[in-house]
Structure 1
Amino acid sequence: MRIGIVVDSACDLPPDWLAAHGIHLLPVTVRIGQSQFVDLRDERATLDFIDSHVTGRHTAETSAFPAEKIKALFLEQLVIDYDYVFCLTVTRHRSQIHENATHASFAILNEYKPVRAQAGHTTPFALRIVDSQQVFAGQGILPVEAVRLRDAGATAPEIRSRLEFLAERSYAYMAPRDLGYLRARIKHRGDRSVSLLAALIGGALDIKPILHCHRGDTGPVGKIRGFESAAEKLFAFAADRVRAGLLTPTLCLSYGGELEQMRALPGYAALVAACDEHHVERFETVMSLTGMINVGAGSLTVGFAAPPHAFA
């Protein structure tokens, strides 16, 4: 069975890795004033766009890939190239992508047969829309596992069961760099994940919150003075999780800037050593444009799948 994998461009995985494994993208469109950018996970283009729009980002608008375009992508290509497709989306609590993909799936399943027949395929086509329940680096866990299982010859039902298991047990942690920007963005979106008062106090005292996403719920789990100290704490916590044992041999990192800046942060080298010692593969990438628009440039995120735990 030919198994395909689709992710949206908010998924923080390296573009080269996505391309090498034939993973298809549902792009996100960002509008800042009169400027528009389609996020196709081109790291250089993303950084250049952010640099050229320093002001106005907190009022930017993002647009999920529409249901009609998702339908067209499947009917024009994916129902021919594959027999079963997993579409892995950012948490439905943060984006319309999951809703659009689910809406499109009904039309796809109703209309694929003549398309496949014309291409010479007589077998059925199936797809599964999976809510990763995650954001940023946390969203990368499921596609990596899907590729590993596909390459190992797992069946579609086996992959589906494993992905749904991991979605419930994936975690993302983030240290934002600029709380003033995050406060403005929260106010613009009407988001209550971090209170405006807490953001104001944090900005005044240089206190950085550690934010957390699990099963689609987001909120603060800690506060550290200074961004570098917050990054060091986050790296040390991730290293502790690696030593305690992850549910997949995968750790995802994303950063809202040049990766060399992330790698120079305190605690990074110790995390790398822990991953190497415990045979955990690291995936490092520039944060998606959608991510940087929503939480600010210079933010750091870590994602993994693990048993229940507390941030400490």
Structure 2
Amino acid sequence: MNVKIITDSACDLTREFLASLDVDVVPIMVYLEGEEYLDGLTLKPEDMLRQMREGKVFKTSQIPPNIFKEKFQQLAQIGNPCIYIAFSSGLSGTYNSALIAREEVLEEFPNFKLEIIDTKCASVGFGLVVYKAAMMAKEGKSYEEIIKNIKFNAQHMEHIFTVDDLEYLYRGGRVSKTAAFVGGILNVKPILHVEDGKLIPIDKVRGRQKAMKRMVEIVKERGVDLENQLIGINHGDDLEGANKLKNLLELELGCKDFLISCIGCAIGAHSGPGTLGVFFLNKITEN
């Protein structure tokens, strides 16, 4: 009996792609002026990002325990061993909601095999962890092998990204209002990464082209065996920018395989249109 993989929409892989991998995805809630939407279901990223460019402000909310409980109960009745791969607990309470639901479901189904893993990853970095686990599940790998792989990839996944407008990070409490204002005037583009599941600024440059070049430099500094890795790229409704970054990575570092995806609503509500990120491993084999 193959392992069933479950994840949430912060992995920024399309529902169609996840369905092709036999991965179940639970949507994160997104709100606009008090109205609730489901990430990727009742609200598409491109529509949200277009509205953000027009000045609309979206907010997000963690998936509540009752949603997870219903999902876990359905899977428990089927009987497959399951792994829920979760969005970083440093950025959302969704992981903790899943833990609460798991305890309640195990009271009803004590023999249900359900592992919940906090990846401390986000967006396509998170998506790469999910993708690799799903491929192992399709190949019939064991429960223990898949869990080991998820934890290793999550621990060694690098997230390097920039945003086009600091205003969105200000709204999310990531930068001060002054920094956002001055940055907008001077065309400053921050370079950020994820450390212990949280967003951390590591550099800033002026202009988008310089930001891309700096991102490639950091990939070179931190990555290993990059020409043989699957490299993730995300974008905030800016496929042209994503392809420019891809071309730079091919030219400068010899990268060959890419997974490119638009950011979902859960991530995009905080990073905004024009976000651009690259995701890769800093270690690809265990000692």
Please give the TM-score of this superposition, normalised by the length of structure 1.
0.81
Q: Quick check: 1:245 aligned with 2:244?
A: no
**1:47 match: secondary structure:** helix
Contact kept, 8 Å, 2:89 with 2:95, in 1: the verdict is yes
Distance 1:81 1:253 in 2: 35
Instruction: Find 2:139's aligned residue among 145, 149, 152.
Output: 152
Distance 1:132 1:248 in 2: 23
Following superposition, the deviation at residue 289 of structure 1 comes to 0.8
Q: Which residue of 2 aligns with 1:17?
A: 17
Distance 2:107 2:252 in 1: 49
**2:11 match: secondary structure:** coil
Distance 1:91 1:181 in 2: 20
Q: Quick check: 1:65 aligned with 2:63?
A: yes
Residue identity opposite 1:145 in structure 2: K
Contact kept, 8 Å, 2:159 with 2:278, in 1: the verdict is yes
| Residues 1:82 and 1:285: Cα distance change in structure 2 (over 3 Å) | farther
**1:79 match: secondary structure:** helix
Residue identity opposite 1:98 in structure 2: Y
Following superposition, the deviation at residue 195 of structure 1 comes to 4.3
Q: Quick check: 1:296 aligned with 2:276?
A: no
Please give the TM-score of this superposition, normalised by the length of structure 2.
0.87
Distance 1:100 1:290 in 2: 16
Q: Which residue of 1 aligns with 2:234?
A: 254
Distance 2:179 2:160 in 1: 18
Following superposition, the deviation at residue 219 of structure 1 comes to 1.1
Aligned structure 1 segments of 4 or more residues deviating by more than 4 angstroms: 239-242
Distance 1:180 1:69 in 2: 32
Contact kept, 8 Å, 1:169 with 1:214, in 2: the verdict is no
Q: Which residue of 2 aligns with 1:107?
A: 104
| Residues 1:295 and 1:278: Cα distance change in structure 2 (over 3 Å) | closer
Q: Which residue of 2 aligns with 1:130?
A: 117
Following superposition, the deviation at residue 252 of structure 1 comes to 1.3
Distance 2:226 2:136 in 1: 17
Q: Which residue of 1 aligns with 2:261?
A: 285
Q: Quick check: 1:208 aligned with 2:204?
A: no
Contact kept, 8 Å, 1:41 with 1:288, in 2: the verdict is no
Q: Quick check: 1:234 aligned with 2:215?
A: yes
Following superposition, the deviation at residue 240 of structure 1 comes to 6.2
Following superposition, the deviation at residue 278 of structure 1 comes to 5.4
Distance 2:226 2:120 in 1: 18
Residue identity opposite 1:65 in structure 2: I
Q: Which residue of 1 aligns with 2:49?
A: 50
Q: Quick check: 1:224 aligned with 2:224?
A: no
Contact kept, 8 Å, 1:89 with 1:97, in 2: the verdict is yes
| Residues 1:96 and 1:270: Cα distance change in structure 2 (over 3 Å) | same
Alignment length (residue pairs): 283
| Residues 1:171 and 1:278: Cα distance change in structure 2 (over 3 Å) | closer
Structure 2 portions without partners, runs of 5+ = none
Following superposition, the deviation at residue 95 of structure 1 comes to 0.7
**1:220 match: secondary structure:** strand
Distance 1:155 1:285 in 2: 29
Contact kept, 8 Å, 1:210 with 1:221, in 2: the verdict is yes
Residue identity opposite 1:226 in structure 2: G
Distance 2:222 2:279 in 1: 11
Q: Which residue of 2 aligns with 1:96?
A: 93
Following superposition, the deviation at residue 270 of structure 1 comes to 2.9
Q: Which residue of 1 aligns with 2:158?
A: 171
| Residues 1:82 and 1:305: Cα distance change in structure 2 (over 3 Å) | farther
Distance 2:152 2:67 in 1: 29
Q: Deviations over 1:50-91 (max 9, x none)?
A: 32353231xx33122211111111212x22445211111111
Distance 1:246 1:80 in 2: 42
Q: Which residue of 2 aligns with 1:271?
A: 249
Following superposition, the deviation at residue 233 of structure 1 comes to 2.7
Residue identity opposite 1:49 in structure 2: M
**Greater shift in the superposed pair: 83-92 or 226-235:** 226-235
Contact kept, 8 Å, 1:256 with 1:296, in 2: the verdict is yes
Structure 1 portions without partners, runs of 5+ = 114-123
Identity %: 25
